Structure 1
Amino acid sequence: MAEEPTLVVMRGNSGSGKTTAAREIRRRYGRGCALLEQDHLRRVILREHDSGQIGPVAPAFIAATARTALDLGYHVILEGILHTDRYATALQNLITAHPGPTHVYYLDVSFDETVRRHFRRDEPIPVTADQMRDWYSPRDLLTTPGETVIPESSTFEQTVTTVLHTSGLAARDPLTPCPTVCPHCP
């Protein structure tokens, strides 16, 4: 019987580095790993605002998308702010129902550092530091067993390496390595 796919949940405030790290983890892993970005699923696909005031669809949609990818045999990296007040139930249900390995990471970065990182991006989204402050939620842990807190002092390389190795993805074979074999990857 084949091993169940791995579910990796990467959470943290805007500008904490989770999207950049998640993209690199998936790139290094290769094919067979789905990257689900909360911002894309919520803002682009659903065109939904992230507000607890309107009965959001995004938490259930994101969890269902992750479940589908896992059921199809893909490892899943789910990344986003994923505030616990709106996403905890959907995430905990996803985690509980997944029969394979699950690893939850929280990038614990101070507000001032998230602002610095945001404005150093190649293409920062058009928001102000005040808007980022409204979204900022210090140490918004999911409190699932084994949740790993990655401190602000962790470099990009350390974060990527930590997630690849502690999740077990570094030891799992991709469908094809990337970019060595796959001619479509940059």
Structure 2
Amino acid sequence: MTDHSTLVLIRGNSGSGKSTTAREVRRRYGRGCALLEQDQLRRVVLREHDSSRIDPVAPAFIAATARAALGLGYHVVLEGILHTERYAAVLHDLVAEHPGPAHAYYFDLSFEETVRRHHTLPYRVGFTPEDMRGWYTPRDLLGLAGEHLIPESAGLEDAVTLVLETSGLGAAPPRTPCPTRCPHCADAVQL
């Protein structure tokens, strides 16, 4: 592992498992890893629709947010559908400009499997299989060197292990000293 922060891109179709995987990667890593979720940044922060009929702000905003976190010394796990049609250029630039390691992962699942996985979520978002079909793009790869495919046969543990091991985050110490040296966390531990 270098002294530079690590950039991890986790992409896939709706319902593929990318959010759950990204959250678990960040949880297992510990402090010093920023989790950037496309839906949170685009839908909640910007309140922007994801459409090819507009000139969206979200791609540039998401890349700028990732650059800021990386520049502050955080590892970054960026997850989302991040369709190449709208995001490929900014993601390629982000990877090219980042002085540290960058790793890309893509959930390579059939449409039927994304629907099946969506139905297992305890917090199912209010959209239908018909909605999902409209968003589905098979093998929407970025074409980055070393882009990892996560196959349909991979479960959550398989996906998380792949990301942690191949990105180097699994063996890297947390970037901040919490909870042993941070006064705020040390007080919370004593409670």
Q: One fold, TM greater than 0.5?
A: yes
User: Aligned AA for 1:161?
Assistant: T
- Flag the 1:173–1:136 CA change in 2: closer, same or farther, 3 A: same
- Flag the 1:181–1:105 CA change in 2: closer, same or farther, 3 A: farther
Give the root-mean-square deviation of aligned CA atoms: 1.9
Alpha-carbon distance in 1 for matches of 2:178, 2:140: 33
Alpha-carbon distance in 1 for matches of 2:38, 2:19: 9
Greater C-alpha radius of gyration: 2
Contact kept? 1:30, 1:177, Cα under 8 Å: no
| Counterpart position of 2:90 | 90
- Structure 1 moving runs of 4+ over 4 Å: 176-184
SS in 1 for 2:8: strand
SS in 2 for 1:169: coil
| Counterpart position of 2:41 | 41
Per-residue deviation at 1:171?
Answer: 1.3
SS in 2 for 1:76: strand
SS in 2 for 1:106: strand
Per-residue deviation at 1:155?
Answer: 1.1
Question: For each residue in 1:91-118, what CA deviation from the matched residue of structure 2 results, as whole angstroms up to 9, or x when unmatched?
Answer: 0000000000000000111100100111
Q: What does 1:49-128 correspond to in 2, within 5 Å?
A: 49-128=49-128
User: Aligned AA for 1:100?
Assistant: G
| 1:139 has 2:139 as partner | yes
- Flag the 1:21–1:180 CA change in 2: closer, same or farther, 3 A: farther
User: Aligned AA for 1:88?
Assistant: A
Per-residue deviation at 1:177?
Answer: 8.1
Alpha-carbon distance in 2 for matches of 1:88, 1:174: 30
| Counterpart position of 1:161 | 161
Contact kept? 1:11, 1:80, Cα under 8 Å: yes
Structure 1 unaligned spans of 5+: none
User: Aligned AA for 1:93?
Assistant: D
Give TM-score scaled by structure 1 length: 0.94
Contact kept? 1:29, 1:178, Cα under 8 Å: no
Aligned identity (percent) is 66
Alpha-carbon distance in 2 for matches of 1:137, 1:93: 22
Alpha-carbon distance in 2 for matches of 1:51, 1:14: 15
Which region of structure 1 is more displaced relative to structure 2, 35-44 or 166-175?
166-175
| Counterpart position of 1:21 | 21
Contact kept? 1:8, 1:103, Cα under 8 Å: yes
SS in 1 for 2:52: coil
